[in-house]
A and B are shown apart, each in its own frame.
Chain A
């Protein structure tokens, strides 16, 4: 069994045992509920094997939310530790000298926190939303490669699962989410932690790359007739630019991690300190991906803001063309700034200056966007409903996060506070901006996907707690950054930093409240869903194609593929008074058939990654061979499309018309063998 043995179960750590019990209870409850309601069949047929982009998107979002929760717990533990472990006389609990986390455990927590939040929370949430919305916005019935889409989902899920498994079997990396060499090399980190980190990361790289290919091809090839480039909704543009970044940079991360794996598994010398390796090469390759990655995350968020702001200002977006150009300018410039993550490497002054300047250049297109949103609101009929509140919060966070980014961009400044908490505060505001946009667009598009709006009372409480928490946590963090506090400390040597850290803990109290309110928000919305039912155009003032079809969206998206006439097609139809014109009679609709292969491949990938982590060679070989075999067998499978017959479409359309809510998992269509060619 390689390095795996019973001793690797950390049962001596009360925190982990508690977590394990919690996970066990939760798992048992879920299994029990599914069994009780006899939903296993539905779960398998309508969710795990689905190739429907909406369901896949929903599952992406679920993974993202679960991991967001996990990452939040990590954050809570870090903040608590830093609030307790201040000064030599601070108390120690649970075997720790100071605070309640040993340095090794604390290290695992901040590493897991970073990796989870970036790759397994923000990314799946954004990818999920793009998955759901983009095909609807371009009037397509499915994506270019529905099967690949499912594969991307299950690879991401496997990566997330691997991180979770590391909680209970073995341990996780403990040197920071982006890794350090030679510290992450085998001689210095011989345990499984780094390997867990490595393979979980690598799985998400694969998943995201496949996803980006799918999204780009969908946008390029599947737009409804009449949807010219300059009629494309702005969120679709944002998704395109973001996925171009993913497509071009994720391969570099793959190489970066693969070379580290090679060092660890084969004893090569890519990044080693001696024998002709180069440790800065790791940083170089990592940040070639790492910086564009942050724009991969933020561009969809900008796109979301650009959808929400016009809807709730009851105006068309100001400066559409400049918005598009700015997205691509940001994407382009983001490819030439990566050295700002290691200004202190001792590159030549000319090099540092170059990267300083390019980093600052990003501010120009970003500024254009900010002004566009502001001018969209200017003289609009602004309604501060929940999505709009989140969008405005995003705008504020963008200002503060962007300006502090500018401060980092001066190499001279950065020399002073690199790897300090000022930087941490900077990028957290940026990432919180992304989170805020995500919450805003969940509020915004939820009714489209599920057919009812989320209630507003708890939602507002949730919003304000996030605002308060952000202030209380990050303003002191900026101040500590100026005071010279470095990041990733498990013990704080200076007692004068204590008060700030305790204030930050108060902020965490607001965040805890926020989480509680979020659950209430979901619960109450679900309970009162009958009250909050909506029709196709949930907000009444939306402008793009997705609001033209029913809520929840039928499996086939559009009974007829729309012909597009204007940039804001739905707004145009409403203005022309043709919004409710349908076209009969219905026709058969061909849809891709469900398949369990992606799920199986995801499971095999998880087995492979786990086996590699523990160096269980027979299992690695077996899993890899099975992967190859499954791919080849699948290539021979007789492709089965599904046909939704015209009568079925008509029946469904009638039900929607009568205001009935057609549940998402209701099966539609039946498989037909592909007509012989």
Chain B
């Protein structure tokens, strides 16, 4: 059999996918990033398990009780700031869908500002506690209390840096598939922080008032 007819043969049998397109880059990237976010959720699960274990009265080590530490009204302010930021990022996604660069950058900026408000509120709350001598080193309960909220705040900080990077990339690159998948990943990241915050707000702050 000649080489040519053999390959004709292979083609008719459908042995090879000659026109292999490569895979969907954006879809693959966001899937991997979502898996990463889920591992981060597992980190939070472990932290919440720790929180549960260290919320017994013996874990206060004679220090302040949760009710004396948490300030739910204040935390509600943080909640609203974060939700606004998340909403603004949603706006950025709508702008992306419309291909509107200016609106996208504006929305990202708004999301950053609201994120900054969240961080500012969190900072002054922690400041207040530190001044009252309520520090992570004071008891097992306080260790995990601060551990949880600081880990969450760290995410907000990282998200804001990332937003800054994306603003620059959108301005210099436009909507290439690399920029687009990163914007979607950042959406997953940012919106996920709101989900985690619901748990933090509920279990640490709201329920903290009756511990």
- A and B are interacting partners: yes
Known: A252-B46, A281-B50, A639-B178. A214 touches B139 (CB 8 A): no
Q: Which residue among B61, B143, B169 has the maximum number of chain A CB atoms within 10 Å of its CB?
A: B143
B98 at the interface (CB under 8 A from A): no
Shortest Cβ distance from residue A560 to the other chain B in the assembled complex, whole angstroms = 4
**Neighbouring A residues of B206 by C-beta, 8 Å:** none
Are B54 and A221 in contact (CB-based, < 8 A)?
A: no
A145 at the interface (CB under 8 A from B): yes
Are B13 and A578 in contact (CB-based, < 8 A)?
A: yes
Sample of 25 A–B contacts (CB below 8 Å): A144-B32, A217-B28, A217-B31, A247-B35, A248-B38, A251-B46, A252-B46, A254-B43, A266-B136, A267-B137, A269-B61, A269-B137, A269-B142, A269-B143, A270-B54, A275-B140, A276-B139, A278-B59, A561-B16, A581-B7, A582-B10, A590-B22, A635-B182, A639-B178, A677-B175
Instruction: Give Cα A573 to B165, complex, Å.
Output: 50
Instruction: Give Cα A148 to B36, complex, Å.
Output: 12
Are B32 and A272 in contact (CB-based, < 8 A)?
A: no
Known: A247-B38, A275-B140, A639-B178. A581 touches B18 (CB 8 A): no
Are A278 and B18 in contact (CB-based, < 8 A)?
A: no
Are A276 and B59 in contact (CB-based, < 8 A)?
A: yes
Choose among A247, A278, A565 the residue that contacts B39 (Cβ–Cβ < 8 A): A247
Are A583 and B144 in contact (CB-based, < 8 A)?
A: no
**Neighbouring A residues of B49 by C-beta, 8 Å:** 284-285
A17 at the interface (CB under 8 A from B): no
Instruction: Give Cα A284 to B54, complex, Å.
Output: 13
A 274-313 contacts with B by CB, 8 A: 274-278, 281, 284-285, 288
Instruction: Give Cα A573 to B6, complex, Å.
Output: 15
A13 at the interface (CB under 8 A from B): no
A 621-646 contacts with B by CB, 8 A: 632, 635-636, 639
Are B61 and A583 in contact (CB-based, < 8 A)?
A: no
Instruction: Give Cα A255 to B46, complex, Å.
Output: 7
B 57-81 contacts with A by CB, 8 A: 58-61, 63
A 611-670 contacts with B by CB, 8 A: 632, 635-636, 639
Are A221 and B31 in contact (CB-based, < 8 A)?
A: yes
With CB as the reference atom, state the residue of chain A lying closest to B140.
A276
Q: Chain B, interface size: which category?
A: 35 or more
Are B140 and A272 in contact (CB-based, < 8 A)?
A: yes
B 1-15 contacts with A by CB, 8 A: 3-4, 6-7, 9-11, 13-15
Are A216 and B140 in contact (CB-based, < 8 A)?
A: no
Instruction: Give Cα A581 to B16, complex, Å.
Output: 10
Are A581 and B144 in contact (CB-based, < 8 A)?
A: no
Known: A275-B139, A632-B165. A288 touches B46 (CB 8 A): yes
0 or 1 for each of A577-591: is its CB under 8 Å from B? (1 = yes): 010011110010010
A256 at the interface (CB under 8 A from B): yes
B198 at the interface (CB under 8 A from A): no
Known: A213-B32, A221-B31. A560 touches B18 (CB 8 A): yes
A 153-208 contacts with B by CB, 8 A: none
Instruction: Give Cα A145 to B139, complex, Å.
Output: 43
Instruction: Give Cα A251 to B38, complex, Å.
Output: 10
Are A270 and B143 in contact (CB-based, < 8 A)?
A: yes
With CB as the reference atom, state the residue of chain A lying closest to B139.
A276
Instruction: Give Cα A278 to B28, complex, Å.
Output: 41
B171 at the interface (CB under 8 A from A): no
Are B32 and A214 in contact (CB-based, < 8 A)?
A: yes
B189 at the interface (CB under 8 A from A): no
Are A584 and B35 in contact (CB-based, < 8 A)?
A: no
Choose among B54, B60, B136 the residue that contacts A278 (Cβ–Cβ < 8 A): B54
With CB as the reference atom, state the residue of chain B lying closest to A585.
B7
A316 at the interface (CB under 8 A from B): no
**Neighbouring A residues of B22 by C-beta, 8 Å:** 590
Instruction: Give Cα A276 to B63, complex, Å.
Output: 9
**Neighbouring B residues of A285 by C-beta, 8 Å:** 46, 49-50
Shortest Cβ distance from residue B137 to the other chain A in the assembled complex, whole angstroms = 5
B53 at the interface (CB under 8 A from A): yes
Q: Which residue among B27, B59, B169 has the maximum number of chain A CB atoms within 10 Å of its CB?
A: B59
Are B10 and A578 in contact (CB-based, < 8 A)?
A: yes
Shortest Cβ distance from residue B167 to the other chain A in the assembled complex, whole angstroms = 13
With CB as the reference atom, state the residue of chain B lying closest to A590.
B22
Known: A144-B28, A256-B46. A266 touches B137 (CB 8 A): yes
Known: A213-B32, A217-B32, A251-B40. A562 touches B16 (CB 8 A): yes
Instruction: Give Cα A145 to B28, complex, Å.
Output: 9
Which residues in A have some Cβ–Cβ distance to B below 8 Å?
A: 144-145, 148, 209, 213-214, 216-217, 220-222, 224-225, 247-252, 254-256, 259, 262, 266-270, 272, 274-278, 281, 284-285, 288, 560-563, 565, 573, 578, 581-584, 587, 590, 632, 635-636, 639, 677
Are A251 and B43 in contact (CB-based, < 8 A)?
A: yes
Are B35 and A224 in contact (CB-based, < 8 A)?
A: no
With CB as the reference atom, state the residue of chain B lying closest to A139.
B17
B94 at the interface (CB under 8 A from A): no
Instruction: Give Cα A256 to B169, complex, Å.
Output: 37
Instruction: Give Cα A582 to B27, complex, Å.
Output: 31
Shortest Cβ distance from residue A384 to the other chain B in the assembled complex, whole angstroms = 34
With CB as the reference atom, state the residue of chain A lying closest to B58.
A276
**Neighbouring B residues of A252 by C-beta, 8 Å:** 42-43, 45-46
Shortest Cβ distance from residue A201 to the other chain B in the assembled complex, whole angstroms = 15
Choose among B4, B38, B143 the residue that contacts A268 (Cβ–Cβ < 8 A): B143
Shortest Cβ distance from residue B138 to the other chain A in the assembled complex, whole angstroms = 8
Shortest Cβ distance from residue B196 to the other chain A in the assembled complex, whole angstroms = 13
Q: Which residue among B22, B49, B144 has the maximum number of chain A CB atoms within 10 Å of its CB?
A: B144
**Neighbouring B residues of A562 by C-beta, 8 Å:** 15-17
**Neighbouring A residues of B29 by C-beta, 8 Å:** 145
B20 at the interface (CB under 8 A from A): yes
B 77-114 contacts with A by CB, 8 A: none
**Neighbouring B residues of A269 by C-beta, 8 Å:** 61, 137, 139-140, 142-143
Instruction: Give Cα A288 to B3, complex, Å.
Output: 58
Are B28 and A221 in contact (CB-based, < 8 A)?
A: yes
The 8 closest A-B pairs by CB, nearest first: A276-B140, A276-B61, A560-B16, A268-B143, A255-B46, A276-B59, A251-B42, A581-B10
B120 at the interface (CB under 8 A from A): no
Choose among B24, B32, B169 the residue that contacts A636 (Cβ–Cβ < 8 A): B169
Shortest Cβ distance from residue A349 to the other chain B in the assembled complex, whole angstroms = 20
B23 at the interface (CB under 8 A from A): yes
Choose among B27, B31, B32 the residue that contacts A148 (Cβ–Cβ < 8 A): B32
Are B17 and A222 in contact (CB-based, < 8 A)?
A: no
Instruction: Give Cα A608 to B13, complex, Å.
Output: 56
**Neighbouring B residues of A266 by C-beta, 8 Å:** 136-137
**Neighbouring B residues of A277 by C-beta, 8 Å:** 54, 59, 140, 143
Are B147 and A262 in contact (CB-based, < 8 A)?
A: yes
Known: A217-B35, A268-B143. A222 touches B46 (CB 8 A): no
